[in-house]
A and B are shown apart, each in its own frame.
Chain A
Amino acid sequence: MSPQTTRSVSFLSGNIALVEGAIKAGCLFYAGYPITPSTEIAESFARRMPQIGGVYIQMEDEIGSIGAVLGASWAGVKSMTATSGPGFSLMMEHIGLAVMLETPCVIVDVQRGGPSTGLPTLPAQSDVMQARWGSHGTYEIIALSPNSPNEAYMHAIKAFNLSEQYRVPVIILMDECVGHMYEKVKIPTEDQITILSRKTPRNTEHYLPYEPDDDLIPPMAIAGEGFRFHVTGLTHDERGYPIATREAQNKYVLRLSDKIRKNEEKIREVEQFFTDDAEVVVVSFGITSRPALRAVRTARQEGLKAGLIRLVTIWPFPEKTIRDVAQKAKGFVVAEMNYGQIFYEVERCASGKPTILSPNLGGEAHTSDEILTRIRQVT
């Protein structure tokens, strides 16, 4: 154990807190490629893995990194990688493979300004739709958005749990601000957290790798235990054998989506402030949720009935929360560090209530004044 984790409260950056959280979750494999502003995650794992008996490997690129993560997961080891925009783009095809093979793994994207090389050292939240739709094909994904180093720690555990439970890649959409800010992190004791692991097949006889249980999730065999199973990125049947028909596609891809959609309520996590009587509801996430909360508090002091919905899980999008709040609200302000991504999701669920964007192309977090101005515009 490093001195950091023996104290119940530590002072850590978001990136380093996330590493400690992942280790707490049982992560024993990290493959990565250095990229600002996520590099501290690779550096911390390089230092920590030999201490805890895990594996750190620096791969030749981000494609190789996530490929190795998938391989390690199929050997039964909780595995993750971390990157930022350009590397996240390179990982997209493998995210589709992880979805298709139902491979538990965690991918951290410490968002920076884009497109392209963009702003390597400065924040953005512009990979939100990429996280949702970046790989080709129809699929559902889970993405979390921590807004503090403490939450980065907890989200690492949550991400592994969700990914193991639903056999889906889970993305932690951080941003440069949360990745690099130092704050107090409460290290939980064993009884304060739950660690989940994938379900495994009971015996090797008659095992079909893609025969789901009632919860739509199949037990997962691991290599080297005598199952002699086959998995493929091609559309496949319960045996894992490729099958190229519309029926097979329909059956398999529907299940991949439904195992997430039907559990959306269990996966969904939002934090609400003053929404009970709110007329203007700000929707925000990650670092932006912090100036947003300040803006809402200031608005309240000015007598404006403002509230905040902070998306803790971004995907699946918490539609119901927005729809419920839209019943009473007069309008929404969406504050995000891009030119409108979650904005359209909120607008879609806002029951026709006016929804305005507080945009920010990245480089610096919103000021609370910027968001306050938008709140005033709605009222």
Chain B
Amino acid sequence: MQEQEYDAFTKKYFRTDRFPHIWCPGCGLGTAIQAFVKAVEKSGTDQDRIAVVSGIGCTGRAAGYLNFDSFHVLHGRAIPFAVGLKLANPKLNVVVLSGDGDLFAIGGNHFIHAARRNNDILTICVNNFNYGMTGGQLGPTSPLDSITTTSPYGNIEPSFNLPWLAASSGATFVARWTILNVRQLINTTIEALGKRGFRFIEVLSPCPVNFGRRNNLSEGIDELRMYQKHCEVADFSDPRLADIKWEDKIIIGKFVDEEKPVYEEKIELLTQKIRGGKRG
């Protein structure tokens, strides 16, 4: 491996001794993760108070490259692990970074229940419309008619509308950006880091190698052009309209931003009431 010089920011937030990373050329993960750490830096969040939990998949590898306390756990189970981590140490700022297949197929049940309880976790889902790490299979967010290795004749399943799923499950903060909207993504992440409760950000991100090339988006730039053409920023629009369909508009922006009682605060109140004192 060639010795490389990294700037101070990169050294601060990334485990540069693990580079080069495993992500493919044209993948949007680098941009998505970079936006996350820039938000951490800009928001002034204490790096040592952040714990990153990832499941399995391409985005799941993010935990391993980030210079925080980080946990690369089971496929689909980042959220319950994060729930335990946060409850056991309420001072932590717990962030789940994982992919669409991990969070919404195998892990879907944990997502909706953590949102319902309003567990104090920020979940960032990098959605690339397929299972990239295993070579491009159909996932719960693969658009209708899309070609994947397990939908060779076109996807016959409707896909999840993630902002609507999050909002209807009870998430207090719901937003969607693409990796083309770096500035907005950073600002939204800064905002989300400063709030409490179950917060969700979806980041649309190209996977040219495994998804794009089978769906007329063979270069990373092709999917970015698609975003540019179809995405429409509309804050606080109805998340029911946030479905992603080919050749139709994709709504991006902030869908939900509200205050609700946070689970961890309720535990504190319960302890106060029953014990007459604090936890621990």
A-to-B contact residues, CB < 8 Å: 28-29, 31, 50-55, 57, 59-61, 63-65, 67-77, 79, 93-94, 97, 101, 221-234, 241-242
- On chain A, the residues within 8 Å of B82 by CB distance are 71
* 18 extra A-B contacts, CB within 8 A, seeds A53-B280, A67-B79, A68-B87: A28-B88, A31-B83, A51-B275, A52-B275, A53-B271, A59-B80, A67-B73, A70-B81, A74-B71, A101-B71, A223-B89, A223-B92, A226-B48, A228-B48, A230-B69, A231-B72, A232-B64, A232-B71
| A-B interface pairs (CB < 8 A), number | 152
Could you tell me the distance in whole angstroms from the C-beta of B140 to the nearest C-beta in chain A? 17
Are the CB atoms of A241 and B89 closer together than 8 Å?
Answer: no
Residues of chain B within 8 A (CB-CB) of A29 are 84, 87-88
Contact present for B84 and A71 (CB under 8 Å): yes
Do residues A230 and B63 form an inter-chain contact, with CB atoms below 8 A? Answer: yes
Interface residues on chain B, size class? 35 or more
Min distance, Cβ A229 to any Cβ of chain B, angstroms: 6
19 contacts between A and B (CB under 8 A): A59-B83, A64-B77, A67-B74, A67-B83, A67-B110, A72-B87, A74-B85, A79-B84, A94-B74, A221-B69, A222-B89, A224-B51, A224-B91, A225-B48, A229-B70, A231-B71, A233-B73, A241-B64, A242-B72
Contact with A along B29-65 (1 / 0, CB 8 A): 0000000000000000001110101000000000110
Cβ-defined contact, B84 with A50, below 8 A: no
Check if B69 sits within 8 Å of A227, measured CB to CB: yes
B15 within 8 A of A: yes
Pair B83/A77 contact, Cβ less than 8 Å: no
Please list the 9 inter-chain residue pairs (A to B) with the smallest Cβ-Cβ separation, ordered nearest first: A71-B84, A67-B80, A68-B84, A75-B88, A72-B88, A232-B72, A71-B85, A50-B274, A75-B89
- In the assembly, what is the distance between CA of A69 and CA of B85, in Å? 8
Residues of chain B with a CB closer than 8 A to A93's CB = 74
Contacts of A97 in B (CB 8 A): 73-74, 77
Residues of A with C-beta under 8 A to B113: 59-60, 64
Q: For the complex, what is the distance from the CA of A231 to the CA of B72, rounded to whole Å?
A: 6
* Nearest chain B CB to A106 CB, angstrom units: 14
B80 and A63 form a contact (CB under 8 A): yes
Query: Which residues in chain B, 71-115, are within 8 Å of chain A measured between CB atoms?
Result: 71-74, 77, 79-89, 91-92, 109-110, 113
In whole angstroms, what is the CA distance A214 to B37 when docked?
A: 38
Given A50-B270, A51-B275, A54-B279, A64-B83 contact (CB < 8 Å) = yes
Tell me which residues across on chain B come within 8 A of A71, comparing CB atoms.
Answer: 53, 71, 80-88
Determine the distance from Cα of A50 to Cα of B277 in the docked complex, in whole angstroms.
10
Contacts of A67 in B (CB 8 A): 73-74, 77, 79-81, 83-84, 110
Interface core residue of B72, B81, B267 (most chain A CB under 10 Å) = B81
Question: Which A residues touch B64, using CB under 8 A?
Answer: 230, 232, 241-242
| B85 x A223 contact (CB < 8 A) | yes
**Contacting residues, chain B, for A225 (C-beta < 8 A):** 48
Residues in B with CB closer than 8 Å to A57 are 83, 87
Residues on B with C-beta less than 8 A from A224 are 48-49, 51, 69, 89, 91-92
Q: Does B23 contact A (CB under 8 A)?
A: no
Q: With an 8 A cutoff between CB atoms, is B178 at the interface?
A: no
Using Cβ atoms and an 8 Å threshold, which residues of chain B touch A230?
Answer: 15, 63-64, 69-72
How far does the alpha carbon of A260 sit from the alpha carbon of B88 in the complex, in Å?
Answer: 28
Bound together, the chains give a CA A51 to CA B79 distance in angstroms of 27
User: Please, which residue of chain B has its CB at the minimum distance from the CB of A230?
Assistant: B70
Give bound CA distance, A229 to B2, whole Å: 24
CA–CA, A66 to B113, complex, Å? 15
Chain B's closest residue to A96 (CB) is B74
A309 to chain B, nearest CB (A): 37
Q: Which residue of B lies closest to A242 (CB)?
A: B64
**CA–CA, A76 to B80, complex, Å?**
16
What A residues does B273 contact at CB under 8 A?
50
Which residues from chain B contact A68 at a C-beta distance below 8 Å? 80-81, 83-84, 87
